[in-house]
């Protein structure tokens, strides 16, 4: 698979070495992953069934929830299973597949967050043209663009990796496959590959974050022209978006914009954005969004009148 590679299987060191701590983590992270799937799945179901949530904002939110489930599923199931394993192994092909899908869904999420910010910008700054601008066709094109962007980004990462020779050792000081830990196993200089990853992952994340921050600054400035009720509703929606953006970009920028290290703290930061954040997003959106909470109540209320709405 990789150039002149003698390595066919890789071994993870994992998050902790203490068996008792690993058993506790197994229970905790299994519950977190199940909450991620159920919470995001509930949002997808609610948005698709509820007639009151058919606006572009909720259309993007349902796809964001789908991406969150997929993104977490590239890492969490294997990570959770390995917490009970004495030797945590993965094939080289499996490692490459994990890297591909991890970056695929990660970049797709970044692009979806940018599109959600654009949707809020149009809704708040150009309300009279909102329906015409954010039509169904454009929304589908933007979502397709996020998938395409994630695919192109992931292909670049894989093309970098498959050219590297791996002669041993085969121990990755991490709990999942990512580019920087894998670079350390290559029996060749990977400086240029590291620069390409910095440009394609780190700088991409930073520029996307700056675009998002700039768009929300413009939105906040334009809110001065709205009524107090309009400002409150817009701020509530934007606050959810901004919180999710910070939770996602903060750890990612911290890890990808600095020299690679093997500190336990770095692994804990990675756990936060690969396992914890996907669970928090549905909580953030439902707690701060009255329309979503009402729609969920209606969905599960037995006394709901199907003809209502």
Residue 127 has pLDDT above 80, yes or no: yes
Q: In this predicted structure, which of 55-69, 169-183, 185-199 has the lowest mean pLDDT?
A: 185-199
Burial of residue 37 (number of CB atoms within 10 Å: 0-12, 13-18, 19+): middle
Task: Give the pLDDT confidence score for residue 1 in this predicted structure.
Answer: 47
Task: Give the pLDDT confidence score for residue 224 in this predicted structure.
Answer: 78
- Determine contact, residues 30/191, Cβ cutoff 8 Å: no
CATH fold of the domain at 9-298 = Rhopdopsin 7-helix transmembrane proteins (1.20.1070)
Task: Give the pLDDT confidence score for residue 135 in this predicted structure.
Answer: 94
Residue 250 has pLDDT above 90, yes or no: no
CA–CA gap between residue 155 and residue 152 (Å, rounded): 5
Residue 213 has pLDDT above 80, yes or no: yes
- Determine contact, residues 195/179, Cβ cutoff 8 Å: no
Spacing of C-alpha 265 from chain mean position:
20
Query: pLDDT tens digits, residue range 151-166?
Result: 999 999 999 998 888 8
Residue 24 has pLDDT above 50, yes or no: yes
CA–CA gap between residue 253 and residue 238 (Å, rounded): 21
CA–CA gap between residue 248 and residue 244 (Å, rounded): 6
Q: Give DSSP secondary structure letters for 246-273.
A: HHHHHHHHHHHTS-----HHHHHHHHII
Task: Give the pLDDT confidence score for residue 235 in this predicted structure.
Answer: 77
Q: Look up residue 126 and give its two tokens.
A: 């150009």
Task: Give the pLDDT confidence score for residue 303 in this predicted structure.
Answer: 41
> Strand ranges (DSSP E) for the chain?
9-12, 88-91, 171-172
Task: Give the pLDDT confidence score for residue 302 in this predicted structure.
Answer: 47
Q: Give DSSP secondary structure letters for 41-102.
A: HHHHHHHHH-GGG-SHHHHHHHHHHHHHHHHHHTTHHHHHHHTT-SSEEEEHHHHHHHHHHH
Task: Give the pLDDT confidence score for residue 309 in this predicted structure.
Answer: 46
Task: Give the pLDDT confidence score for residue 67 in this predicted structure.
Answer: 96
- Cβ–Cβ contacts within 10 Å for residue 150, how many? 24
Give the residue, 117 or 195, on which the prediction is more confident: 117
Compute the C-alpha angle 292/298/300, nearest 5°. 105
Q: What are phi and psi for residue 171, nearest 5 degrees?
A: -100, 120
Kindly state the average pLDDT of the residues 172-178: 90
Give the residue, 116 or 293, on which the prediction is more confident: 116
Task: Give the pLDDT confidence score for residue 5 in this predicted structure.
Answer: 63
Residue 252 has pLDDT above 60, yes or no: yes
H helix and E strand count, the chain: 13, 3
Give the residue, 248 or 228, on which the prediction is more confident: 248
Task: Give the pLDDT confidence score for residue 260 in this predicted structure.
Answer: 55
pLDDT more than 90, % of the chain: 43
Nearest to 205 by CA among 155, 262, 245: 245
Burial of residue 271 (number of CB atoms within 10 Å: 0-12, 13-18, 19+): buried
What's the mean per-residue pLDDT of the chain? 86
Query: pLDDT tens digits, residue range 216-244?
Result: 888 888 887 777 777 777 777 788 888 88
Q: In this predicted structure, which of 45-49, 95-99, 211-215, 236-240 has the lowest mean pLDDT?
A: 236-240
- Cα Rg of the chain, angstroms: 21
Query: pLDDT tens digits, residue range 257-306?
Result: 665 555 567 788 889 889 999 999 888 877 667 788 888 788 777 445 55
Residue 307 has pLDDT above 60, yes or no: no
Spacing of C-alpha 263 from chain mean position:
23
Residue 196 has pLDDT above 80, yes or no: yes
Residue 51 has pLDDT above 60, yes or no: yes
């Amino acid at each position: 698979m990789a150039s002149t590679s003698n390595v066919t299987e890789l071994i993870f060191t994992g998050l902790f070495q203490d068996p008792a701590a690993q058993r506790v983590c197994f229970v905790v992270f299994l519950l977190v992953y199940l909450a991620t799937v159920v919470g995001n799945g509930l949002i997808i179901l609610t948005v698709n069934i509820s007639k009151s949530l058919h606006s572009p904002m909720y259309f993007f939110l349902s796809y964001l929830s789908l991406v969150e489930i997929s993104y977490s599923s590239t890492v969490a199931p294997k990570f959770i299973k390995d917490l009970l394993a004495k030797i945590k192994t993965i094939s080289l092909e499996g490692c490459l597949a994990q890297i591909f899908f991890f970056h695929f869904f990660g970049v797709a999420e970044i692009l979806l967050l940018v599109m959600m910010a654009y949707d809020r910008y149009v809704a708040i700054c150009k309300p009279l043209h909102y329906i015409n601008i954010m039509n169904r066709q454009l929304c589908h094109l933007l979502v397709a663009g996020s998938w395409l962007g994630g695919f192109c980004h992931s292909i670049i990462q894989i093309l970098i990796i498959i050219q590297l020779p791996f002669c041993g050792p085969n121990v990755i000081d991490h709990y999942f496959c990512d580019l920087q830990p894998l670079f350390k196993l290559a029996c060749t200089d990977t400086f240029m590959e590291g620069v390409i990853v910095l440009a394609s992952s780190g700088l991409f994340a930073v520029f996307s974050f700056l675009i998002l921050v700039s768009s929300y600054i413009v939105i906040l400035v334009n809110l001065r022209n709205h009524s107090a009720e309009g400002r409150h509703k817009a701020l509530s929606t934007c606050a959810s978006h901004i919180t999710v953006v910070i939770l996602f970009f903060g750890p990612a920028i911290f890890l990808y914009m600095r020299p690679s290290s093997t500190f336990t703290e770095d692994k804990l930061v990675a756990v936060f954005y690969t396992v914890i954040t996907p669970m928090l997003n549905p909580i953030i959106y439902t707690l701060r969004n009255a329309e979503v909470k009402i729609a969920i109540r209606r969905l599960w209320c037995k006394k709901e009148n199907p003809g209502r709405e």
